[in-house]
């Protein structure tokens, strides 16, 4: 069996790592694709400033599903990086951890072949094999020529989509459309230039830390519509869910013709929170408009807040059946009512970052402004308009930290690989983001070819079906399931060949 993995960041390395652990790995050949810069590291963890921290403690990060301390163990043995006993390590360290796993796999196995090229396009041959599946052509540019190879099985692990451009500023001088790598993004900024950052999520926290330590002109303005930072990570709790489980969900589905109504979802959550001794209302509505107040609150109540965050994280691992059992209307209502709570509590910032932000804001070095309405460029400077404010503020540079695109409709022609797959009807957009895949298996559901068991997607592109796949552990979970399916398919192909040979 010939296998391709397109994209070698977290999802790609994890998939290859899982493939290699199987006793039948020698029976397949694997081609891996990515550019030289991202190969084995991906964009979030590539070489950048060591001020950019992972938002999870090092002892909770791992590509080994059996050992969540694998990354911390590797760090302690590695002489290249020394950040002492730091609880939160720089992103680039995890990138080198992933690259070390890839390098070990390449040294150990001679059936893995590296292609340091971005895949340009994919095609599906409309001839089925003995298993009734289509072969997939993967094409890339090498020495100015298109090269295409056929594969029996393809993993699409391209990571996050490009950053949003909500104010159509792409291509304008002074507009930094992606904050990463920060060392490159701010290369042309002069010390006396005014800078504004749009977006207040985790990416924004990264950029703020870097700008504050490498730029003299203050205050730094940070703005978005709501101007609310993520919560602050508290103390981790072990969570054993009692009510949010497959058995309870199946019970509701049976009594409601395959659907779980939103009111029942809410009942499950409330019942689970009571069992976990979590004050749900208090945790959901603890925030005020004042970011400093919010961060100080989380720091003071690190045990209670950490308990709730741990609960949310565990629920995310069990959301697939619940999310996919809701109607479209109930999903919309769920996201309107609870989506921002999940986002804010499931991806908290490190305590050290929060303490720095508090100091900078209280000292007047950072100004956080809500009500962002529009950004335009006029007479060489960017003009930022706020809701219910007549005058605009002007800046030399605007750094975009609004986060990645979520929907295929947001993609431009420059993002031609995914647009090409959609145009050829190999993939289709999901109404809640990403593309249509089967729950759990992540098999592509194609408008033209139907369900494609040999085309798997892992990562953010599955967000519409998998609710929220932002996190290393969730990507590893997806990889484990997808690889298990591949080896089942390998056995089925073996049986099919035996049957065919007997007929001859």
| Sequence-ordered list of residues with C-beta below 8 angstroms from that of 428, at least 6 positions apart, any chain | 422, 435, 436, 445, 446, 447
The confidence score (pLDDT) of residue 503 equals: 66
Exposed e or buried b per residue across 293-324, where buried means at least 16 C-beta atoms within 10 angstroms of its C-beta: ebbebbbebeebbbbbbbbbbbbbeeebbbbb
What total of structural domains would you count in the chain? 3
Whether 9 and 39 share a structural domain: yes
On the CB side of 257, how many CA atoms lie within 13 Å of its CA? 1
Q: How far apart are CA 136 and CA 160, in angstroms?
A: 23
Whether 266 and 335 share a structural domain: yes
Alpha helices, DSSP H, located in 109-193 = 182-185
Is 234 inside a domain boundary?
no
Among 400, 417, 437, give the residue marking a domain's end.
400
Three-class secondary structure of residue 251 per DSSP: helix
Strand partners for 60: none
Alpha helices, DSSP H, located in 111-201 = 182-185
Is 393 inside a domain boundary?
yes
Q: How far apart are CA 104 and CA 110, in angstroms?
A: 11
Strand segments, DSSP code E, in 327-434 are 366-369, 372-378, 381-386, 393-395, 397-400
Alpha helices, DSSP H, located in 78-181 = 91-108
Q: How far apart are CA 340 and CA 343, in angstroms?
A: 5
Which tens digits make up the pLDDT trace of 215-268? 888 999 999 999 999 999 999 999 999 999 888 888 888 888 889 899 999 999
Is 428 inside a domain boundary?
yes
Whether 155 and 15 share a structural domain: yes
- Rounded to 5 degrees, φ, ψ at 206 are -55, -50
Whether 380 and 451 share a structural domain: no
Q: Residue holding tokens 């950053």?
A: 163
Whether 326 and 210 share a structural domain: no
The confidence score (pLDDT) of residue 487 equals: 92
pLDDT in tens, the chain (504 residues): 999 999 999 999 999 999 999 999 999 999 999 998 889 998 888 888 888 888 888 888 899 998 989 999 999 998 889 898 888 899 999 999 999 999 999 999 999 999 999 999 999 988 887 778 899 999 998 878 889 999 999 999 998 888 999 999 999 999 999 888 888 777 888 888 999 999 999 989 989 998 998 888 899 999 999 999 999 999 999 999 999 988 888 888 888 888 989 999 999 999 999 999 999 999 999 999 999 999 999 999 999 999 999 999 999 888 888 899 999 999 999 999 998 888 889 889 999 999 999 999 999 999 999 999 999 999 999 999 999 999 999 999 999 999 899 999 999 887 889 999 999 999 999 999 999 999 989 999 999 999 999 999 999 999 999 887 778 888 999 999 999 999 988 888 888 777 776 665
Tell me the two tokens of residue 468: 């929220």
CA triple 245-251-253, angle to 5 deg = 100
Q: Residue holding tokens 């309870």?
A: 248
Q: Which of 239, 205, 226, 172 minimizes the C-alpha distance to 396? A: 172
Whether 18 and 145 share a structural domain: yes
Q: Which domain holds residue 423?
A: 2-54+86-161+406-503
Which tens digits make up the pLDDT trace of 7-21? 999 999 999 999 999
Burial class (CB in 10 A: 0-12, 13-18, 19+), 71: buried
Among 359, 381, 400, give the residue marking a domain's end.
400
Whether 16 and 111 share a structural domain: yes
| Sequence-ordered list of residues with C-beta below 8 angstroms from that of 360, at least 6 positions apart, any chain | 208, 212, 220, 366
Is 490 within 8 Å of 28 (Cβ atoms)?
A: yes
Q: How far apart are CA 294 and CA 230, in angstroms?
A: 9
Whether 301 and 153 share a structural domain: no
Whether 195 and 284 share a structural domain: no
Tell me the two tokens of residue 432: 């809640």
Q: Are strands 153-156 and 145-151 parallel, antiparallel or unpaired?
A: unpaired
Burial class (CB in 10 A: 0-12, 13-18, 19+), 458: buried
The confidence score (pLDDT) of residue 304 equals: 97
Is 493 inside a domain boundary?
yes
3-state helix, strand, coil in the chain (%, to 5): 40, 20, 40
Strand segments, DSSP code E, in 310-411 are 366-369, 372-378, 381-386, 393-395, 397-400
Is 453 inside a domain boundary?
yes
Is 257 inside a domain boundary?
yes
- Rounded to 5 degrees, φ, ψ at 32 are -115, 140
The confidence score (pLDDT) of residue 504 equals: 58
* CATH number of residue 12's parent domain: 3.50.50.60
Rounded to the nearest 10°, the torsion over CA 128, 483, 154, 448 is: 50
Q: How far apart are CA 396 and CA 220, in angstroms?
A: 12
Whether 212 and 310 share a structural domain: no
Q: How far apart are CA 482 and CA 153, in angstroms?
A: 11
Q: How far is CA 356 from its chain centroid?
A: 25
Is 400 within 8 Å of 390 (Cβ atoms)?
A: no
Whether 41 and 137 share a structural domain: yes
Whether 365 and 384 share a structural domain: yes
Is 113 inside a domain boundary?
yes
């Amino acid at each position: 069996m010939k296998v391709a993995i397109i994209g070698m960041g977290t999802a790609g390395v994890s998939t290859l790592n899982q493939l290699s652990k199987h006793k039948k790995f020698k029976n397949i050949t694997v081609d891996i694709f990515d550019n030289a810069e991202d190969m084995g590291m991906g964009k979030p963890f590539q070489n950048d400033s060591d001020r950019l921290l992972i938002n999870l403690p090092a002892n909770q990060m791992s590509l080994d599903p059996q050992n969540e301390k694998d990354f911390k163990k590797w760090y302690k043995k590695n002489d290249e990086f020394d950040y002492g006993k730091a609880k939160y390590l720089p992103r680039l360290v995890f990138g080198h951890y992933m690259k070390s796993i890839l390098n070990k796999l390449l040294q150990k196995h001679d059936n893995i072949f590296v292609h340091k090229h971005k895949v340009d396009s994919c095609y599906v041959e409309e001839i089925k094999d003995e298993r009734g599946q289509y072969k997939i052509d993967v094409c890339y540019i090498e020495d100015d020529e298109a090269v295409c190879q056929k594969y029996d099985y393809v993993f699409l692990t391209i990571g996050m989509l490009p950053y949003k451009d909500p104010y159509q500023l792409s291509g304008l001088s002074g507009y930094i459309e992606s904050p990463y790598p920060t060392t490159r993004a701010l290369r042309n900024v002069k010390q006396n230039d005014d800078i504004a950052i749009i977006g207040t999520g985790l990416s924004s926290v990264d950029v703020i830390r870097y700008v504050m330590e490498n730029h003299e002109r203050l205050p730094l303005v940070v703005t978005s519509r709501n101007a609310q930072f993520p919560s602050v990570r508290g103390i981790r709790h072990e969570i054993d869910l009692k009510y949010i489980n497959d058995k309870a969900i199946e019970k509701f589905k049976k009594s409601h013709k395959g659907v779980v109504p939103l009111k029942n979802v809410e009942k499950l959550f409330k019942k689970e929170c009571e069992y976990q001794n979590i004050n749900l209302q208090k945790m959901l509505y603890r925030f005020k408009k004042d970011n400093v107040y919010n961060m100080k609150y989380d720091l003071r109540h690190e045990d209670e807040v950490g308990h709730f965050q741990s609960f949310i994280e565990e629920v995310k691992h069990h959301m697939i059946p619940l999310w996919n059992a809701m109607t479209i209307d109930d999903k919309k209502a769920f996201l309107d009512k609870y989506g921002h709570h999940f986002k804010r509590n499931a991806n908290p910032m490190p305590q050290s970052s929060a303490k720095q932000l508090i100091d900078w804001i209280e000292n007047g070095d950072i100004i956080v402004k809500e009500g962002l309405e529009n950004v335009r460029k006029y007479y060489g400077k960017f003009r930022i308009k706020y809701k219910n404010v007549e005058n605009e503020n002007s800046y030399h540079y605007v750094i975009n930290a609004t986060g990645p695109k979520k929907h295929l409709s947001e993609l431009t022609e420059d993002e031609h690989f995914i647009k090409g797959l959609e145009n050829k009807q190999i993939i289709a957009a999901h109404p809640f983001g990403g593309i249509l895949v089967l729950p759990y298996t992540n098999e592509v559901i194609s408008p033209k070819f139907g369900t494609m068991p040999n085309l798997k997607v892992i990562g953010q592109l599955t967000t519409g079906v998998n609710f929220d796949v932002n996190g290393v552990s969730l990507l590893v979970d997806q990889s484990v399931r997808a690889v298990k399916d591949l080896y089942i398919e390998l056995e089925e192909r073996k049986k099919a060949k035996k049957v065919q040979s007997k007929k001859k």
